[in-house]
Structure 1
Amino acid sequence: MGAHPADSLLYRHLWSTEEIHRYFDDKGRIKVWLQILSALASAQSEVGIIPHEAAVAIAAHADVELFDLEEVACATRATGHSTFGLIRSLRCVLPEEAAEWVYYGATVQDLTDTWTALTARYVLDIVDRDLGHLLDTIAGLAIAHRDTVMCGRTHGQPGLPITFGFKAAVWASELSRHRERLRDIRPRIEVVQLGGALGTMEFWMPESERLLSAFAARLGLGVPDIPWITARDGVAEFLGFLGMMSSTLAKIGQEVYELQRPEIGELAETWTPGQVGSITMPHKRNPELSEHLVTLAKVIRSNAGLGLEAMVHEHERDGRSWKTEWLAVPEACLLACTALVLCCRLADGLQVNADRMKDNVDACAGYLMSEPVMRVLSAKIGKHSAHTLIYEATMNGRANGLSMRDALLANREVLTHLSVSEIDASLDLDVAVGAAGMFVDRVLKTLDTPRSKNGGAR
């Protein structure tokens, strides 16, 4: 069993996915580091800094399968240096004439920060793909339930009628903005780091600028305007994005968690026979997916906070701040990708109980329509006077167990301003949901998903 839940055979599925985990384990990390070292040697050869034959040899031996990771680990611990163990192991497998040219002039942050940029690209590709799937599913819910009336709630209490499609459209709009943010931040984050000892690229003069461009081109990354050894805003923005995105997933999960409560019963996670909710209470079906989305987002947000802490750097290099990212970035990426997989599963299997939604609206005995009644009355006596009158009528009606309609009809002052037909018209549910359907349609028109384009065909 691993020390971190993401490495646990028992619990890995809750904190990681196979796709993302194999990128962050030792083998996956070193594989990418070797790719970077190979690209650096190739770029240095192109601009005439190292011999072409050396670059070819380095590329041929930059294969993680050639290394004993235990030996690399031992050398890392023995030297007390983050990458010296790997460099020593790589030099040992290289021909003698190439061994002196590996990692030529580079420093730890050139390697590890470029790894961070490649990692961001890899993770954002996964996030964009899974966000697209989730957004399409949520769009389908908005389409299917555009006119499914339910209680809208504020402060945990029934307020006005809305539609479930409206609620889903709010989720879809927020998820869509995250995809926009993802595309916006990529040019700022997916850039190489190559500065040498202090970022001035002194070791590679006068070919430093050509080398930087050649190195970036080989990795498919952008070229920064200046090395970002102490400028960690890109990493902080990346972690902040993961924190925001996962918080939206947590909001969706929390809503399902609340509405799955049996006394509400409007939504439910899919349930598979054999799934156990409690070892002591056999009847339970716990909202495991939605609950865990909230947990994951809390940890990701804490890592985003560490990203902000790491922005405070001293002088031209500060391991105290920079190395904080070594913990925060992998964990945030693992958990964010896991959260997306779980939220997709939640949305794909979400059970919507439209009948229970209607029953809960009916159970409010018409009081959800207090604002529409007040609006009609406002046109006759003014908004604030109407509020006072409807407040008195509804408080009295609730205290005496009356429906909203009966409470209004029992109030003589209300009847001096509103006819029975006007009261009945203002209690109409179709009127009370306002522009919910219009907003659903507006959101769907902005989405670039299969279901939003074809009207929700499943």
Structure 2
Amino acid sequence: MSSPTNHLFDAYFTQPAMRQIFSDHGRLQGMLDFEAALARAEASTGLIPAEVLGAIVTACRAERYDVDALAMDIGIAGNSAIPLVKALGKQVAEQNPMAERYVHLGATSQDVMDSGLVLQLRAALQLLENDLARLADALAEQALLHAATPMAGRTWLQQATPVTLGMKIAGWLGAITRHRQRLVEIKPRLLCLQFGGASGSLAALGDQAFGVAQALAAELQLNLPDQPWHTHRDRLVEFASVLGMIAGSLGKVGRDLSLLMQTEVAEVFEPGAPGKGGSSTMPHKRNPVSGAVMIGAATRAPGLVATMFAAMPQEHERSLGLWHAEWETLPQLCCLVSGSLQQALQVVPGLAVDAERMLHNLQMTQGLVLAEAVSIALARCIGRDAAHHLIEQCCRRAVEQGAHLREVLGNEPQVIAHLSVDALDRLLDPAHYLGQAQRWVERAVADHQAFTL
């Protein structure tokens, strides 16, 4: 049987290593790792004979199983563990008929699937942490490089007051640092064993149940939770929420970059590469193709996170349908975020910055972006409301006359009575109205460095 594939967009939207973790092979191996660890734990506590262990462990390799056949059986069984355990039992029986009776002893399907998923998530977390660390390093470098590069700040998509490119990038960096902190914080709660048996009591293992659970957690190097969490899904939902936030922050990077790449702005660009960002019909185009992935992932992630939240009120000790809703949702989130991260890593280290264009754009309003600076300076002399009203009138005259604000201010008696020529020139110089931009960069980089250390 030949399985259909869906690989056309994978290289664009997903990191290959993350796709491998959540491939059919990865899912099967996670569950089989649970079964092998269970057998070891039960042998170490004397629950099963030591001589059956070899046959069980040897059979716990994903490449031994027919994925297509399992896929057909899942549609009948209702989950992936039931047909896999049956196939595992057959494999074990071929080596040691007596050993087959000890396969999966005391466990339930959800124990296999949830613990296997947690093992996958542990590998996914490692990838995400590594990539976030690399991205944070690149952002810190760029923030420091452009800490004093003036550009127009923009609010409501309109030019506001000057900022620096470094300050903008420091904002991106701060979000990534916080996400890295969150991932560390949730690990003890997320990386937990699932092992409760039929209804969560482990009654089938009698007095040896807790000892087996402890040994199993140790075998898998997972935390042993206070109790099984078959229908308490907050651990997974918390992780999904962090993934959603990471996607959102990367989407913010993609959105800012795509706006800065607009023809009318043309201040910052994704690094060029042969064939990258072109159009099928317009030779001049330089499209933000990486930004598109980051924005796309940020758009898709909230729906997936919402699915995880919607699946929380699960019935009693085993859910019908709500648990099933998680199976593809969390892997999709991991893959989306991994793909967005790969695009950010392609873009950030090689940002193409046009500082001259930034200065040019700052002058487009002919001094209006610095009206606040003049208003505040004048307020010290005539009061806030009077100063605001006067400078507002001057701005309107500048627009109506097509004149530079400096010219209008220089002809306004109420202004020149209090502000000298030198004072006006300084107030209308963007480099002198950057506030704490440099400090914000230094603080964001310091937080990054402190976390990394």
Q: TM-score range by the shorter chain?
A: over 0.9
Aligned match of 2:202: 201
CA distance in 2, matches of 1:379, 1:76: 75
Aligned match of 2:286: 285
Does the Cα contact within 8 Å between 1:131 and 1:175 map onto a contact in 2?
yes
Aligned match of 1:164: 165
- 1:227 equivalent in alignment to 2:225: no
- 1:50 equivalent in alignment to 2:51: no
CA distance in 2, matches of 1:191, 1:24: 19
CA distance in 2, matches of 1:58, 1:219: 16
Over 3 Å counting, the alpha-carbon distance change for 1:252 and 1:80 in structure 2 is closer
CA distance in 2, matches of 1:99, 1:422: 89
- Report Cα offsets for 1:393-445 as digits up to 9, x if no partner: 11121121111111212322223333333322322323211111122112222
Q: State the 1:149 CA deviation.
A: 0.6
- 1:422 equivalent in alignment to 2:438: no
CA distance in 1, matches of 2:174, 2:3: 39
Does the Cα contact within 8 Å between 1:136 and 1:449 map onto a contact in 2?
no
Aligned match of 2:64: 66
Identity of aligned residues (%): 33
- Report Cα offsets for 1:140-168 as digits up to 9, x if no partner: 11111111111111010111111101111
Q: State the 1:128 CA deviation.
A: 0.6
CA distance in 1, matches of 2:69, 2:3: 20
CA distance in 1, matches of 2:75, 2:264: 57
- Report Cα offsets for 1:267-302 as digits up to 9, x if no partner: 111222234622222321211110121001221221
Q: Which moved more, 1:352-361 or 1:57-66?
A: 57-66
Aligned match of 1:151: 152
Q: What letter matches 1:90 in structure 2?
A: L
CA distance in 1, matches of 2:434, 2:56: 67
Q: What letter matches 1:14 in structure 2?
A: Y
Q: State the 1:449 CA deviation.
A: 8.3
Does the Cα contact within 8 Å between 1:132 and 1:449 map onto a contact in 2?
no
CA distance in 2, matches of 1:104, 1:2: 33
Over 3 Å counting, the alpha-carbon distance change for 1:325 and 1:79 in structure 2 is closer
Does the Cα contact within 8 Å between 2:21 and 2:123 map onto a contact in 1?
no
Q: Which moved more, 1:307-316 or 1:45-54?
A: 45-54
Q: What letter matches 1:298 in structure 2?
A: T
Aligned match of 1:397: 398
- 1:437 equivalent in alignment to 2:451: no
CA distance in 1, matches of 2:76, 2:242: 37
Does the Cα contact within 8 Å between 1:74 and 1:85 map onto a contact in 2?
no
Over 3 Å counting, the alpha-carbon distance change for 1:442 and 1:275 in structure 2 is closer
Q: State the 1:35 CA deviation.
A: 0.8
Aligned match of 1:301: 302
- 5+ residue gaps, structure 2, are none
Poorly superposed stretches of 4+, deviation over 6 Å: none
SS in 2 for 1:153: strand
Does the Cα contact within 8 Å between 1:254 and 1:294 map onto a contact in 2?
yes
Aligned match of 1:456: none
CA distance in 1, matches of 2:240, 2:281: 39
Q: What letter matches 2:80 in structure 1?
A: S
Q: How does 1:228-247 map to 2 (within 5 A)?
A: 228-247=229-248
CA distance in 2, matches of 1:329, 1:160: 41
Among 81, 84, 90, the alignment partner of 1:83 is 81
Q: What letter matches 2:207 in structure 1?
A: P
Q: State the 1:114 CA deviation.
A: 0.8
CA distance in 2, matches of 1:377, 1:12: 58
TM-score by structure 2 length?
Answer: 0.95
CA distance in 1, matches of 2:262, 2:77: 56
CA distance in 1, matches of 2:436, 2:69: 66
Q: Count matched residues.
A: 449
Does the Cα contact within 8 Å between 2:136 and 2:177 map onto a contact in 1?
yes
CA distance in 1, matches of 2:373, 2:77: 74
CA distance in 1, matches of 2:182, 2:277: 38
Aligned match of 1:326: 327
CA distance in 2, matches of 1:345, 1:206: 55
Among 16, 21, 24, the alignment partner of 2:22 is 24
Q: How does 1:25-40 map to 2 (within 5 A)?
A: 25-40=23-38
Q: State the 1:81 CA deviation.
A: 4.5
SS in 2 for 1:159: strand
Q: What letter matches 1:24 in structure 2?
A: F
Over 3 Å counting, the alpha-carbon distance change for 1:259 and 1:105 in structure 2 is same
Q: How does 1:334-413 map to 2 (within 5 A)?
A: 334-413=335-414
Q: What letter matches 1:326 in structure 2?
A: W
CA distance in 2, matches of 1:359, 1:425: 18
Q: State the 1:134 CA deviation.
A: 0.5
CA distance in 2, matches of 1:191, 1:385: 63
Does the Cα contact within 8 Å between 1:276 and 1:282 map onto a contact in 2?
no
Q: State the 1:78 CA deviation.
A: 4.4
Over 3 Å counting, the alpha-carbon distance change for 1:188 and 1:80 in structure 2 is closer
Does the Cα contact within 8 Å between 2:30 and 2:115 map onto a contact in 1?
no
CA distance in 2, matches of 1:313, 1:21: 28
Over 3 Å counting, the alpha-carbon distance change for 1:441 and 1:78 in structure 2 is closer
- 5+ residue gaps, structure 1, are 454-458
- Report Cα offsets for 1:319-361 as digits up to 9, x if no partner: 3211111021111111111111111001122211111111111
Q: What letter matches 2:390 in structure 1?
A: L
CA distance in 1, matches of 2:234, 2:431: 49
Does the Cα contact within 8 Å between 1:171 and 1:252 map onto a contact in 2?
yes
Q: What letter matches 1:269 in structure 2?
A: E
Over 3 Å counting, the alpha-carbon distance change for 1:74 and 1:263 in structure 2 is closer
- Report Cα offsets for 1:106-164 as digits up to 9, x if no partner: 11110111122212211111111000111111111111111111111101011111110
Among 8, 11, 29, the alignment partner of 1:10 is 8
Q: How does 1:257-272 map to 2 (within 5 A)?
A: 257-272=258-273
SS in 2 for 1:447: helix
Q: State the 1:197 CA deviation.
A: 1.1
Does the Cα contact within 8 Å between 1:40 and 1:215 map onto a contact in 2?
yes
CA RMSD of aligned residues (A): 1.9
